[in-house]
Amino acid sequence: MNANLDAAQMDAGGSAQAQLAERYGAQATPDAGAIACNPTLETLLGHRSVRRYSSEPLPSGLLELLVAAAQSAPSSSNLQAFSIVAVEDKDRKARLSRLAAGQRHVAEAPLLLMFVADLSRLRQVGTACGETADGLDYTESFLVALTDAAFAAQNVLVALESLGMGACYIGAMRNHPEEVAQELGLPQGAFIVFGMTIGYPDPAVETGVKPRLAQSIVLHRERYAAAPPEAFEAYDATLREFRLDQAMSDIAWTAQAAGRIRDAGSLMGRHVLREVLQARGFGLK
């Protein structure tokens, strides 16, 4: 036990263990030692994607706060190579929902944020400085923009969850990337990485914390060691329990994951992304 932690912190630490137990379900619960829980950890450990929203309007100033949270994320070389398109127009949300496999929550959420890997602004800046900006034509620059957009988005998600709201990433925005880019008027060098639906969770729909793979599978100490196939059996059983509890279809995680990566056809139109990205001005050299 750490003598620097006072008694109140030690008591609070118990709730971190409870949240860890929920995160890993019937699998072994990692031991967080004497580290006390706090509101930030509670928000992170309690994350769940929310796909049903109440009609409660979002508070004014929320968008500005969320964008500030997004911009507070670290950024590669401070290049800030991302943008956000906020969509509230009902008809536009409906069109984007159709482009994203008809997902209901895209049309229904009061706010839809679209996260853009954005090299167009840097090209503008580089050109204005008299540079060729040829560095933007390399895969590295795409990765910079992609990771900047992802970190910004995750900051937004944590911020809104800390306020009692719910959200869901929408990777299906990459199913028809050209149409989505046109709908949002994206310039060359800009690409929608994913959307995010945002709203207050519908209180009538209880969404549980989805258990994750055991830490023994994910955490490698010093050197990587692949987990044996049987290591996944416990997770399959744990996730099956969760899915049945949430009235979801009864399919093992391993089978679902294997199906999702089976072949080009299982990528839901996203197998052409390299060509799409190159057509959108990402060199990917």
Ligand X SMILES: Cc1cc2nc3c(=O)[nH]c(=O)nc-3n(C[C@H](O)[C@H](O)[C@H](O)COP(=O)(O)O)c2cc1C
List residues binding ligand X (CB under 6 A): 47-49, 51, 103, 168-172, 194, 210
Distance CA 103, CA 53 (A): 13
Least distance from ligand X to the Cβ atom of residue 30, Å: 17
Least distance from ligand X to the Cβ atom of residue 252, Å: 14
Q: Which is nearer to ligand X, 13 or 195 (CB)?
A: 195
Tokens representing 17 are 């263990």
Tokens representing 124 are 């503008």
- With CA atoms as reference, report the closest residue to 210 among 240, 174, 176: 240
Q: Which is nearer to ligand X, 45 or 62 (CB)?
A: 45
Least distance from ligand X to the Cβ atom of residue 19, Å: 13
Output the residue with the shortest Cβ distance to ligand X. Answer: 171
Q: Which is nearer to ligand X, 149 or 190 (CB)?
A: 149
- Which residues is 192 bridged to in the sheet? 116
Q: Which is nearer to ligand X, 210 or 240 (CB)?
A: 210
Percentages of the chain per state (helix, strand, coil), in multiples of 5: 50, 10, 40
Distance CA 275, CA 283 (A): 10
- With CA atoms as reference, report the closest residue to 198 among 81, 70, 78: 70
Least distance from ligand X to the Cβ atom of residue 169, Å: 4
Orientation of helix 253-260 relative to helix 231-245, angle to 10° = 100
Q: Which is nearer to ligand X, 18 or 257 (CB)?
A: 257
Least distance from ligand X to the Cβ atom of residue 4, Å: 33
